[in-house]
Structure 1
Amino acid sequence: MEGGDRETTAAAGAAKKDAKADLNNWLPVTASRNAKWYYSAFHNVTAMVGAGVLGLPYAMAELGWGPGVAALLISWVMTLYTLWQMVEMHEPEEGKRLDRYHELGQYAFGEKLGLYIVVPQQLMVQIGVNIVYMVTGGTSLKKFHDTVCSASSASCPPMTRTHFIIIFGSVHLFLSHLPSFNSVTVISLAAAVMSFSYSTIAWVATAQRGMMPDVQYTPRASTSVGRVFQFFSALGDVAFAYAGHNVVLEIQATIPSTPEMPSKKPMMKGVWVAYAIVFLCYFPVAIIGFWMFGNSVEDNILVSLQKPAWLIAAANMFVVIHVLGSYQVFAMPLFDTLEGWLVKSRNFKPTRLLRITTRTSYVVLTAFLGCTFPFFGGLLGFFGGFAFAPTTYFLPCIMWLKIKKPKVLSLTWFINVICIIIGVALMVLAPIGALRQIILQAKDYKFYS
């Protein structure tokens, strides 16, 4: 009997393992593992250099020269460090890959606690980014439309931002049905090229335009209370600009791994290239944008620029193409989580109908929320502080301490503790300022205008 029980248990275990393998072959993150190192580079650029870069001059205007440059530089170094940690922890032991952020959380904190800690935060980031990108895509489409119309003699019918968000969202009704993460590679490559292009256009066009008359670098707010809240919100804007951590393990999951060539080597090669591009995009846009416009800069630097019309129109179209790709890079891991949960926990069959229903519903939801709450600057700060700070700035450090167990009071221990303290402070302070900014913007806002 005991032998029979062992055989039954072994057979059940093998069947469960086969079912998990079949599900992984269907889910978008693990369906294809043939990515190259340069896939990592442009996926990371697409994930990181997004709407956030356009808000950096505005963040500088709220922070001031010294704190603004310090916040950019510290964030660049800290997030590169925490991203390296996540890449290292992707394969904590031979033969085991943690392909999703929540799997790393479960490995560090336990099956249930890991899910409770990571999944809500990651979902907030992914959904928050996609809402902001709906707003960004619609805003940039409107700016393109208005710029082309004013530059030509043709009379264009007036259209609201809501119309353009709906147009932008309708494109995702088709793109969201690509089967796997690797299938968005071409879109992601185009998006990475566009992000570098419009970032370059933003600072070059700003520099060529020259300084605004009577430019001022004093704080935007007239009261000390307002300045404090704006400072907090600006920290969230900076945090939002470094968003790639929420999809980094899912990106690494698409890269093959062998004992001779573990996935972390090509992955980090791509990360170094991506972070070099991030530096070349962020710092010129932030510093030159603030230098030329001062505290009168808009929360989207391209909105502040008016001439030359053809270049501004092109830059806004580049933004549209980029956020098309960025939306998919953040949505694909969310589809993976949602579809995996429906199949494993709710016993749905992994069918095409399930995908069509879940993905279409998600795109419609994010488009609706983008139309309803298009507060670009406030959304950046709120999501940047409340959701991005944990998953980007300090959660990887906590998991590193749990998994790697560095010696207490060692240099590595101190570095991680300092990152945790900074990240927690950012998570607490940034949403306070951003929420106040959203409330102030909402006072005069008319829905769907």
Structure 2
Amino acid sequence: MDLHHHPSSSSSSPSKPLPTLDAGAALVLKSKGTWWHAGCHLTTAIVGPTILTLPYALRGLGWGLGLVLLSVMASVTFYAYLLMSRVLEHCERGGRRHIRFRELAADVLGSGWMLYFVVCIQGAINTGIGIGTILLAADCLQIMYSAASPNGPLKLYHFIIIVTVVLIIFSQLPSFHSLRHINLASLLMIIGYAVVVVAGCLNAGFSKNPPPRKYSLDSSKSNRSFNAFTSISILASIFGNGILPEIQATVAPPVAGKMLKALLLCYSVIFVTFYPVAISGYWVFGNEVNSNVLQSLMPDSGPSLAPTWLLGLAVVFILLQLVAIGLVYSQVAYEIMEKNSADVNQGTFSKRNLIPRIILRTLYMIFCGFVAAMLPFFGDVIGVVGAIGFIPLDFILPMLLYNMAIKPPTRSVMFMLNMFIMVVFTGVGIMGAFSSIRKLVLDANEFSLFSDNVVN
């Protein structure tokens, strides 16, 4: 199964001069990065506080099946991202360099409904994650504030304003490449809070009064099946990343081989964070684990199950990394804005380009902050978007793009494997969407516009 060379790819048309870059490409997606810069961008895009739901995902599957499916999801997404990178390289060798997901989809799939599907889903995911990160970061600030001042006057929306202002300031960094040092810090934050959470779980598990726990699955066969599909959907969403073409666009040419190194860096971080968090959290809390293992360590009633300073450190690390995630997923919106508002013939910091950038990026962040304040139950909405969006973009489209662009023989192992993955994850996406919509309906009675509490 050779991903590097294929008879079809070697017969690409001769290279043609690459087209002149538009302002969005030249100013936001400039190609100046190395493989490790791309690795940091990928890690921030994929690995986030959602890893704290991994013990909850194991709860619906049990030890054996849970760890097997975690490994399957990691393997399939690594394979899918590698395929998409190969398709991008294949198109570039043919003189068609694509730096945006929508351009790649239009070239390979045509400009019909599939293109609009990709554009709409990617836009919904990117904006949704921008809103969600503001909400979660504000929730982290509120947790710290409530611990220091239980009866203080500040409300959730005050913290949303604080986070939004911080993101407005950092959003003025002109290009995706400008985030390389922030995303390196983000990578370190990920490892930091994973270590802290694992330490907290081990502390609770080996304490004199460990939490009571059992690992049996639900006795009802229908509930057991539903819980399993919910867990599979969670695992699939955790590995989501709808911006790989934009990340690859930041790498300085020649790109060949560099994205494989970037993926290996990213998945090394995944290996040293996902498995310890999933195993330690499920081990100590079993079926009683919360959808966020950090909340299990600091329950609403009773004392914390780990030292307060340790849990506070985890919250700080998560807060800092959420800022990086918000900045990464905003780059697609900024690229679209600058493509239509900036002048590619003038400098990045020229008055002609600087003033529209400040205004448009500030308005975008204000919009995300306003929606976060208005809909503090956005996590449930994101669950639906994730099932409908991440699974098609990350588990189905890369295989479809590879089969259509590089055209492996229809009887080859690779073609059949790609078709099998597409069929399986179409089913997973449908079941995931159903379970997410069901949860949205069940939680509806807790929803309140501009509430002071985040609905988890």
For this structure pair, what is the TM-score category when the shorter chain's length is used for normalisation?
0.7 to 0.9
Deviations 1:295-336 (A, max 9, x none): 222222222223211111111010011010011111112221
8 Å contact from structure 2 (residues 43, 269) kept in 1? yes
Q: CA 1:57 to 1:445, structure 2 compared with 1: closer, same or farther past 3 Å?
A: same
CA drift at 1:157: 0.7
Aligned mates of 1:24, 1:128 — CA distance in 2? 21
8 Å contact from structure 1 (residues 233, 381) kept in 2? no
Match of 1:438 in 2: 440
8 Å contact from structure 2 (residues 59, 215) kept in 1? yes
The one-letter code sitting in structure 1 at the alignment partner of 2:29 is V
TM-score (norm 2): 0.84
Q: CA 1:25 to 1:124, structure 2 compared with 1: closer, same or farther past 3 Å?
A: closer
Match of 1:418 in 2: 420
8 Å contact from structure 1 (residues 178, 184) kept in 2? yes
SS at match of 1:21: coil
Aligned mates of 1:217, 1:365 — CA distance in 2? 43
Q: CA 1:189 to 1:268, structure 2 compared with 1: closer, same or farther past 3 Å?
A: same
Aligned mates of 2:255, 2:180 — CA distance in 1? 18
The one-letter code sitting in structure 1 at the alignment partner of 2:65 is P
Deviations 1:80-125 (A, max 9, x none): 0001011112222424321111111112012455532321121122
CA drift at 1:438: 2.2
Aligned mates of 1:358, 1:227 — CA distance in 2? 48
Quick one: percent identity of the two aligned structures? 29
Match of 1:265 in 2: 257
Match of 1:37 in 2: 35
CA drift at 1:376: 6.6
How many residues are matched?
A: 415
The one-letter code sitting in structure 2 at the alignment partner of 1:418 is F
8 Å contact from structure 1 (residues 203, 285) kept in 2? yes
The one-letter code sitting in structure 2 at the alignment partner of 1:183 is S
Q: 1:72-83 alignment to 2 at 5 Å?
A: 72-83=70-81
The one-letter code sitting in structure 1 at the alignment partner of 2:89 is E
Match of 1:295 in 2: 287
Match of 2:309 in 1: 310
CA drift at 1:338: 4.0
Match of 1:9 in 2: none
State which of 351, 354, 360 in structure 1 corresponds to 2:353: 351
Match of 2:391 in 1: 389
Match of 1:408 in 2: 410
Q: CA 1:241 to 1:204, structure 2 compared with 1: closer, same or farther past 3 Å?
A: same
Aligned mates of 2:386, 2:60 — CA distance in 1? 15
Give 1 or 2: higher helix fraction: 1
CA drift at 1:223: 6.2
SS at match of 1:351: helix
1:280 maps onto 2:272 in alignment: yes
8 Å contact from structure 1 (residues 52, 238) kept in 2? no
Q: 1:7-46 alignment to 2 at 5 Å?
A: 20-24=20-24, 26-30=26-30, 33-46=31-44
Match of 1:4 in 2: none
Q: 1:362-377 alignment to 2 at 5 Å?
A: 362-375=364-377
CA drift at 1:25: 5.6
8 Å contact from structure 2 (residues 27, 175) kept in 1? yes
8 Å contact from structure 2 (residues 55, 289) kept in 1? yes
State which of 153, 160, 163 in structure 1 corresponds to 2:158: 163
Match of 1:8 in 2: none
Q: CA 1:299 to 1:175, structure 2 compared with 1: closer, same or farther past 3 Å?
A: same
Aligned mates of 2:376, 2:227 — CA distance in 1? 19
The one-letter code sitting in structure 2 at the alignment partner of 1:239 is A
Deviations 1:218-260 (A, max 9, x none): 457x86655544433332221221123x222211111111xxx
Which structure 1 segments of 5+ residues have no match? 1-16
8 Å contact from structure 2 (residues 25, 99) kept in 1? no
Match of 2:324 in 1: 325
The one-letter code sitting in structure 2 at the alignment partner of 1:110 is G
Match of 1:242 in 2: 239
Aligned mates of 2:375, 2:230 — CA distance in 1? 17
CA drift at 1:269: 0.9
Which structure 2 segments of 5+ residues have no match? 1-17, 298-303, 344-350
Aligned mates of 2:260, 2:415 — CA distance in 1? 22
CA drift at 1:291: 1.4
State which of 230, 247, 254 in structure 2 corresponds to 1:251: 247
CA drift at 1:188: 1.2
The one-letter code sitting in structure 1 at the alignment partner of 2:437 is L
The one-letter code sitting in structure 1 at the alignment partner of 2:265 is V
